[in-house]
Amino acid sequence: MKKFQIGILGLGTVGTGVIEILREQSENFKKRFGVSFQTKKVLVKNINKKRSVDLQGIELTEKIEDIIGDPDIDIVIELIGGKTIAKKAIIASLEAKKNVISANKDLIADDGRQLADLAEKNNVGFYYEAAVAGAIPILRALENSLDSDRIESINGIINGTSNFILSKMRQQKMSYRQALSLAQELGFAEADPTNDVDGIDAAYKLQILADFAFGKQIEQKDIQMSGIRTVTQQDLNDVSELGYEIKLLANASLIDGRLQFSVGPTLVPKDHPLASVQNENNAIFVSAAYAGGLMFYGPGAGKLPTANSVIADLLELTSKAPKNPRFNSQFKSDTALAGPKNRIASRYIVFKVADRPGAMHKLSGFFLMSNINFRNIRQYDPIDGSTRVVIITYPASDAQLNPVKTTIRQAKGVEIVHEFKLLERK
Amino acid sequence: MKKFQIGILGLGTVGTGVIEILREQSENFKKRFGVSFQTKKVLVKNINKKRSVDLQGIELTEKIEDIIGDPDIDIVIELIGGKTIAKKAIIASLEAKKNVISANKDLIADDGRQLADLAEKNNVGFYYEAAVAGAIPILRALENSLDSDRIESINGIINGTSNFILSKMRQQKMSYRQALSLAQELGFAEADPTNDVDGIDAAYKLQILADFAFGKQIEQKDIQMSGIRTVTQQDLNDVSELGYEIKLLANASLIDGRLQFSVGPTLVPKDHPLASVQNENNAIFVSAAYAGGLMFYGPGAGKLPTANSVIADLLELTSKAPKNPRFNSQFKSDTALAGPKNRIASRYIVFKVADRPGAMHKLSGFFLMSNINFRNIRQYDPIDGSTRVVIITYPASDAQLNPVKTTIRQAKGVEIVHEFKLLERK
């Protein structure tokens, strides 16, 4: 029997779930894996607060040093979140030759590679499956099953809040505001929903996915980002008639040897598996040269789903790879990022156009200048002197499209309401 | 650089794919994983046959002993299929301390545990991700990410041929016969489709999944099996109006501490992720106590998708777990199998009933005897003196239902056309 002592930083939702699972599965893990875990200490903000979870035999502390300085603790599970204290604690733990498991996507998005290198230098493990898409074992699948392949693209619904809002808008004809309120009532969205609805949370996860899929550590500024605040019932209806659903997709694509990254509302063909992912669920669709199109679907958040990913890391660390703990395969590529010429996609663009003769002729002329071809065009009945025009283009690069947009911004009687990308049918 | 010499048994579709990927990725694998593979020998039926794949530097042989008796060969990849020769070859290879990778579901379904034990005894690896669901890394996910969890059920679309046929029947209103012919034309179905359409192929894969998910080695006789030959357009329409699709599902469920296994046409609620899995694709939906509902989707067959799973095994064996090669976790449980009292499901039952007064009264009386309640009832306009009656029951056990069926078989003026299970909404 191998015995391990654990220190947990943070006793919020996920920390509580971790303690619950460790209690429930204690006998099972001894029997099946020959490992025994003792949760020795847990860092909390207030040791006097009442807790719902059984903490018998566990020492609560408000001092982080009590845990990272405790020589008996083999494994630190970091669940406090944030970038500053968490980073210091992880570095100190790794340097003290403690294994670390974390669910901290914000931190790992930017510093994951640096921390993984530090773990390797100290011959300990640094695992963080729970940081991306909750219960879905997507990082381990990329690491252990798709490392043999050449990945071409990743398209993920990796923000449950946004997907919940878009689902309710579609299923129950709610407005964005109504759906957001419902999400807030049900605890799927925070009082300030910025991180979720503007794509920031999805972008953090995309940074981590990019590292595992393409061996490339990127920064948030490398990602073209837009959120779901401007999506309307009319958009959902327009695209539904044309055979699409709108999803907030995080995309990473390798096109012509260059990598491009975006997060934004995206038209997904209804027969694509991502189109039917509903409510707060997450799904990641991976296109690879050999495996083809694979999708990994499941709960992207929640106490036990996320805690299960932490526990799976714990078992790998202690039972399967105790001598060579390695999560991020140190896959490093120097693939260039795409510039405007290489960032190619079909686009759904909505215009507000003055209701007068020649308006469409003028608008279509702007696109002709850049040789951009249209796949679908719809003009709707005018309201109050202006008309809604929806155009879906064939694939066009940012280099083609940007001058068109600049021209339109300077033109009279036409404005761009918004622009979403299309996920191409495969 | 670690160097490995490989012998491949069988140069069919998957074997060709393995050789192609190893050629294409040779430099990449050296750089990224520090491993170098040389395909030394390949077993073929006829060494004079023309091959499309580049075989430069590879020795072809018609004698299996040339490979399993070659002391230079470290890893044997078994792709000949079948139970007799393949089993002997795998046993001989493991006993000669060679690692083995196989895609042979028929063999592993019954003998996987025995072969895994033999591999462990000889301290070599026996990997077979490719045996279930082609490119989908479902065995590794069960082994490495869900071993921390308590799995409650698995529902899989794991026979691409059947799913293709049912999809075409639904999408293009084809009859079963027409859809089967199309599948045969496109190479998705064999001249004798028995293994696919009667659920035998899915049952083999279910046996392997049962071992990984529940630690239980079962035999094909432990699985309640039925196929898709009797599914009609009328069935697909009936259930669509009630909110379901029909899919050939392989099911393993742990209910009240007992395991039950079935393969058969199943009514899947349209909002369940399995309902939208189209054509030849596979998907496995896992329900677990902590993780919740996870789905793994992708190509279940094909040259490169299946070969990629073989290569992923090869990398794990050589680069990640060289000292402790272990695929099947030796998870052994003595969970009992469910008897008729514990095999509980809602059922869709189609009857042919004589068109006369009292017919429904008589039929409903039979169900009342066993206290089975109905969720939906539909009777259709009579044709040629008999009428189609469709009943969906609430959950009922085989012990409740079997006497009803016996009574109906002996009654006049009513017969059972067929009976499918329902996948319950979660």
pLDDT at B424: 84
* CB contact residues (below 8 A), chain B span 212-241, against chain A: none
Chain A nearest CA to B324, separation (Å): 8
Instruction: Judge whether B388 and B380 are in contact, CB under 8 Å.
Output: yes
Chain A residues closer than 8 Å to B291 by CB = 135, 298-299, 304-305, 308-309
Quick one: pLDDT at residue B330?
74
- Whether the Cβ atoms of residue B389 and residue B351 lie closer than 8 Å to each other: yes
* A321 pLDDT higher than 90: no
Q: Please answer whether residues A94 and A122 qualify as being in contact, where contact means their C-beta atoms are separated by less than 8 angstroms.
A: yes
Rounded CA separation A169/A185 (Å): 16
Contact B331 A294 (CB under 8 A): no
* Three-class SS state of A358: coil
Average pLDDT over residues A387-413: 96
Active-site hit among B41, B87, B168, B205: B205
Beta strands in A342-385 (DSSP E): 344-345, 347-354, 374-379
Chain B: closest CA distance from residue A410 (Å): 45
* Cβ–Cβ under 8 Å, residues A252 and A206: yes
Kindly state the tokens that stand for A199. Answer: 């794509």
Residues 56-95 of B with CB under 8 A from A: none
pLDDT of residue A426: 59
B42-81 per-position pLDDT tens digit: 999 999 999 999 999 999 999 999 999 999 999 999 999 9
DSSP A316: I
Contact between chains at A315 and B141 (C-beta distance less than 8 A): no
Question: How far from the centroid of its chain's Cα atoms is residue A39's Cα?
Answer: 30
Q: Is the dihedral of CA B174, B180, B185, B189 positive or negative?
A: positive
Residues of chain A found within 8 Å of residue B271, distances taken between Cβ atoms: 278
B160 close contact with A: CB closer than 8 A: no
pLDDT tens, position by position, A378-394: 999 999 999 999 999 99
B251 touches chain A (CB under 8 A): no
3-class SS at A262?
strand
The answer, for A273 touching chain B at a CB cutoff of 8 Å, is: yes
A positions 20-59 inside 8 Å of B (CB) = 21, 25, 32-33
The single-letter code of the amino acid at B314 is: L
Unique residue bearing structure tokens 């495969």: A426
- The shortest CB-CB distance from A135 to any of B33, B294, B308 is to B294
Task: Give the DSSP H/E element, type plus range, for residue A217.
Answer: none
Give the pLDDT band of residue A331 (cuts 50, 70, 90).
Answer: confident
The answer, for B147 touching chain A at a CB cutoff of 8 Å, is yes
- CB contacts of B147 in chain A (<8 Å) are 32-33, 312, 315
- As a whole number of angstroms, the distance between CA B143 and CA B91 comes to 23
The pLDDT value given to residue A90? 98
Mean pLDDT, rounded, of chain A: 95
Q: Tens of pLDDT along A34-71?
A: 999 999 999 999 999 999 899 999 999 999 999 999 99
pLDDT in tens, A70-125: 999 999 999 999 999 999 999 999 999 999 999 999 999 999 999 999 999 999 99
Closest to B316 in 3D by CA, of A335, A145, A395: A145
B376 Cβ neighbours under 8 A, 6+ residues apart: B242, B390, B391, B392
Buried-exposed string B119-148: b where 16+ CB fall within 10 A, e elsewhere: bbebebbbbbbbbbbbbbbbbbbbbbbbbb
Question: By percentage, how much of chain A surpasses pLDDT 70?
Answer: 98
pLDDT of residue A323: 67
Q: What is the least distance, in Å, from the CA of A104 to any CA of chain B?
A: 18
Tell me which amino acid residue A16 is. T
Tokens 């996507």 -> residue: A105
In this structure, the number of other CB atoms found within 10 A of the CB of residue A191 comes to 5
pLDDT tens for A353-362 read 999 999 899 9
Q: Cβ(B354)–Cβ(B385) under 8 Å?
A: yes
Residues of B within 8 A of A312 (CB-CB) are 144-149
- Is the complex ipTM more than 0.90? yes
pLDDT tens per residue across span A229-279:
999 999 999 999 999 999 999 999 999 999 999 999 999 999 999 999 999
Phi-psi region of A150 (alpha: psi -120 to 50; beta: other; left: phi over 0): beta
What distance in Å separates the CA atoms of residue A41 and residue B114, rounded to the nearest whole number? 43
Q: Which of A22, A32, A132, A144 to mutate to test the interface with B (most CBs of B within 10 A)?
A: A144
Determine the pLDDT at residue A332: 87
Could you give the CA distance from residue A396 to residue A367 in angstroms, rounded to a whole number? 11
**Mean pLDDT for the stretch of residues A277-299:** 97
| Helix/strand/coil (H/E/C) assignment for every residue in chain B | CEEEEEEEECCCHHHHHHHHHHHHHHHHHHHHHCEEEEEEEEECCCCCCCCCCCCCCCEEECCCHHHHCCCCCCEEEECCCCCHHHHHHHHHHHHCCCEEEECCHHHHHHHHHHHHHHHHHCCCCEECHHHCCCCCCHHHHHHHCCCCCCEEEEEEECCHHHHHHHHHHHHCCCCHHHHHHHHHHCCCCCCCCHHHHCCHHHHHHHHHHHHHHHCCCCCHHHCEECCCCCCCHHHHHHHHHCCEEEEEEEEEEEECCEEEEEEEEEEEECCCHHHHCCCCEEEEEEEECCCEEEEEEEECCCHHHHHHHHHHHHHHHHHHCCCCCCCCCCCCCCCEECCCCCCEECEEEEEEEECCCCHHHHHHHHHHHCCCCEEEEEECCCECCEEEEEEEECCEEHHHHHHHHHHHHHCCCEEEEEEEEECCCC
Which residue in chain A has the smallest CA separation from B289? A304
Q: Which residues in A54-81 are b (16+ Cβ under 10 Å) and which e?
A: eeeebebeeebebbbebeebbbbbbbbb
> Closest to A298 (Cβ–Cβ): which among B33, B292, B304?
B292
Find all residues with CB under 8 Å of B110, minimum gap 6, and list them: B83, B207, B219, B220
Residues of chain A positioned with their CB less than 8 A from the CB of B140: 140-141, 144-145
Span B188-216, pLDDT tens digits: 999 999 999 999 999 999 999 999 999 99
Q: From CA B87, how far away is CA B81, in angstroms rounded? A: 9
pLDDT at A322: 60
Residue A62 in tokens: 């408000």
pLDDT at B319: 87
Contact B343, B398 (CB under 8 A): yes
Q: Which residues of B touch A276 (CB under 8 A)?
A: 273, 275-276
The shortest CB-CB distance from A292 to any of B290, B298, B311 is to B298
Task: Provide the 3-class DSSP secondary structure of residue A222.
Answer: helix
User: Active-site positions of A?
Assistant: 205
Which segments in chain B show pLDDT lower than 50? none
For residues A162-171, one letter each, b for 16 or more C-beta atoms within 10 angstroms of the residue's C-beta and e for the rest, the string is bbbbbbbbbe
Strands A374-379 and A386-393, by their bridges, are antiparallel
Round to whole Å and give the CA distance between A261 and A250.
8
Task: Look at B140 and A135 and tell me if their CB atoms are within 8 Å.
Answer: no
pTM more than 0.95 = yes
Distance CA A365, CA B303 (A): 47
Q: Is the pLDDT of residue A31 over 90?
A: yes
Answer whether A144 touches B (CB < 8 Å): yes
Per the listing, tokens 């064939």 go with: A394
- Per-residue pLDDT band at A424 (split at 50, 70, 90): confident
Q: Do A296 and B299 lie within an 8 Å CB cutoff?
A: no
Q: How far apart are the first and last CA of chain B?
A: 50
B234 contacts: CB under 8 Å, gap ≥ 6: B388
Measured between beta carbons, the chain B residues lying within 8 angstroms of A150 are 25
